[in-house]
Structure 1
Amino acid sequence: MKILNKILEKVLINIIKIYCFFSPFFYRGVCRFNPTCTDYTIQSILKYGPIIGIYKSAIRLSKCHPFGNHGFDPLSQKEKK
């Protein structure tokens, strides 16, 4: 199971990196948070694994709307894997 999790982590992170490569052509300067949602997603996948990491990034992405929060919103340091 750990091997499958590591493979899934690598696949998801590579998809995110491909998105980061192509996204500047479509979206410029629209990120509301620091760290960016892509950095946050990569950190959460590495810290919590692919399932919980994607869940946490989905929660973060749900905050990204015109009436949502903005500013510094790091991954929680208190929770452990």
Structure 2
Amino acid sequence: MICWLSFFAIRFYQRIAPSRLRDACRFDPSCSNYALLAIEKHGAVRGWKMALSRIHRCRFPNGGEDYP
């Protein structure tokens, strides 16, 4: 249930977020796609924790490829 709601919320964000915000990601895959992968692989609680940790790291000099 929580995973389904998480996927829905992230997909909704991907559709409505301004492109300026979505295209500014320093990482590959983007933070929202990383969150989807992390939630799918590790479950909702740990996946969200990993995704929020990554968003916190999203500043210079971090960047590049980073998969869950």
Gaps (5+ residues) in structure 2? none
| Letter of the structure 2 residue corresponding to residue 17 of structure 1 | R
1:29 maps to 23
Deviation per residue, 1:13-36 (Å, 9 max, x gap)? 100000000113552520100011
Structure 1 CA distance for aligned equivalents of residues 29 and 37 of structure 2: 10
**TM-score by structure 2 length?**
0.89
Number of aligned residue pairs: 68
1:3 maps to none
**TM-score by structure 1 length?**
0.76
Q: Which has the larger radius of gyration?
A: 1
Identity of aligned residues (%): 29
Q: In the alignment, does 2:41 pair up with 1:47?
A: yes
1:74 maps to 67
Gaps (5+ residues) in structure 1? 1-6, 76-81
Compute the displacement of 1:73 (Å). Answer: 0.9
Deviation per residue, 1:30-55 (Å, 9 max, x gap)? 01000111111001111111100001
Higher relative contact order (CA 8 A, sep 6+): 2
1:79 maps to none
Structure 2 CA distance for aligned equivalents of residues 63 and 26 of structure 1: 19
